[in-house]
């Protein structure tokens, strides 16, 4: 119970320290709530087309207007939140687990483990990241699962490098020596004494890369990879709306684009705020 209270106090400190971070946190909660409850709240079925109401501008009935098939843009934007957030969270979770473990192992053991992971990370970094993601999805097949995988792969070097540096400086720290001397196995030392110490920095990394993960996934679906129509997803909705921009029907692309921008903006602000708190030296 005391631990929960301490945690709540810390959270309050994180949220109130900087009003911008607080606002970003509120926005984050709103996004998560929308992702969970959205499909239950929307006024229209996001897939229901209506030939008599195509490309209607925003009105009291359709807040964000209707698209080329007469579907309600507002409902589609809200429902899409879940899919976009799921892709971003899944890919970040995947790279968080694999990248942190690999990086900690490389930093702690050094030697060939370190050289091999370093070489893999360098090879990934030798590509422009979005281009590599395109290549991976094109090669593995056009599916949401592969979008998640590709997004995780391009973020892998970032996680490995940070985790490696964090583990490396603690390799021979006093508390690590103490754990060793008390008879802990090397695996136990790494998993229960070093790994937990890298987590605060890795959490910052998570919130900084969530924004990029959403952008990456939406970019891939914008060029026609991954999510397929008619599934509501922000990137693909902007791609749909792009065909009507020149004829002046701006609302089809604008609202999903704004939702996308807001989500990325929220994650970036949150990440910056967390970083400033946990690691003030890296503040820019």
242 is a site residue for another protein (CB under 8 A): yes
31 is a site residue for another protein (CB under 8 A): no
239 is a site residue for another protein (CB under 8 A): yes
CA distance 34 to 241: 22
Among 28, 63, 109, 250, binds another protein (CB under 8 A): 250
47 is a site residue for another protein (CB under 8 A): no
Among 136, 163, 195, 274, binds another protein (CB under 8 A): 136
| CA distances from residue 271 to 158, 207, 214, 215, 278 in whole angstroms, order as listed | 15, 5, 14, 15, 10
Among 253, 270, 275, 276, binds another protein (CB under 8 A): 253
Write out the two tokens for 66. 């209707």
245 is a site residue for another protein (CB under 8 A): yes
Binding mask 207-226 for another protein (x = CB under 8 A): ----x---x--xx--xxxx-
Q: Using CB under 8 A, which residues numbered 182 to 211 contact another protein?
A: 211
CA distance 128 to 143: 21
For the CB of residue 62, give the shortest distance to another protein in the complex, in Å. Answer: 19
46 is a site residue for another protein (CB under 8 A): no
CA distance 224 to 34: 25
Among 33, 37, 140, 173, binds another protein (CB under 8 A): 140
Q: Where are the strands (E) in 88-185, listed by range?
A: none
Among 19, 37, 47, 122, binds another protein (CB under 8 A): 122
For the CB of residue 102, give the shortest distance to another protein in the complex, in Å. Answer: 17
CA distance 236 to 228: 8
Angle between helices 73-109 and 251-278 (to 10 degrees): 30
Q: Give, for 173, the enclosing helix (H) or strand (E).
A: none
Nearer CB in complex with another protein: 189/236: 236
Write out the two tokens for 217. 């996934």
Other beta carbons less than 10 A from residue 19's beta carbon: 10
CA 249 to chain centre: 30
57 is a site residue for another protein (CB under 8 A): no
Which is nearest to 226 in space by CA: 74, 72, 90? 90
CA distance 56 to 42: 18
For the CB of residue 188, give the shortest distance to another protein in the complex, in Å. Answer: 35
Q: Which stretch binds another protein (CB under 8 A): 11-19, 46-54, 109-117, 252-260?
A: 252-260
CA 183 to chain centre: 39
**Contact residues: another protein, CB under 8 A:** 119, 122-123, 125-132, 134-136, 138-141, 211, 215, 218-219, 222-225, 235, 238-239, 241-242, 245-248, 250, 253-254, 257, 260-261, 264-265, 268-269, 272, 284
């Amino acid at each position: 119970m005391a631990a929960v209270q301490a945690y709540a106090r810390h959270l309050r400190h994180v949220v109130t320290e900087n009003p911008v971070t607080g606002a970003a946190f509120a926005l984050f909660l709103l996004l998560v709530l929308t992702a969970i409850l959205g499909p239950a709240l929307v006024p229209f079925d996001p897939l229901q087309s209506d030939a008599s109401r195509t490309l209607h501008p925003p009105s009291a009935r359709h807040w964000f207007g209707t698209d080329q098939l007469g579907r309600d843009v507002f409902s589609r934007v809200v429902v899409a939140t879940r899919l976009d957030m799921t892709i971003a969270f899944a890919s970040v979770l995947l790279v968080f687990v694999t990248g942190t473990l690999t990086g900690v192992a490389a930093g702690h053991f050094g030697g060939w483990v370190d050289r091999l992971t370093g070489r893999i990370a360098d090879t990934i970094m030798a590509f422009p990241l979005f281009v590599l993601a395109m290549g991976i999805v094109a090669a593995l097949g056009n599916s949401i699962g592969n979008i998640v995988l590709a997004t995780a792969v391009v973020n892998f070097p970032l996680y490995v490098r940070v985790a490696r540096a964090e583990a490396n400086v603690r390799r021979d720290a006093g508390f690590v020596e103490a754990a060793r001397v008390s008879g802990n196995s090397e695996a136990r030392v790494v998993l229960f004494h070093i790994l937990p110490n890298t987590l605060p920095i890795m959490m910052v990394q998570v919130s900084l890369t969530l924004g990029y993960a959403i952008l990456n996934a939406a970019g891939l679906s914008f060029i026609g990879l991954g999510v397929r129509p008619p599934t509501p997803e922000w990137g693909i909705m902007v791609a749909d709306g792009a065909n009507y921009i020149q004829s002046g029907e701006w609302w089809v692309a604008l609202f999903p684009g704004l939702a996308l921008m807001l989500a990325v903006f929220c994650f970036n602000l949150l990440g910056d705020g967390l970083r400033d708190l946990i690691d003030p030296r890296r503040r820019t």
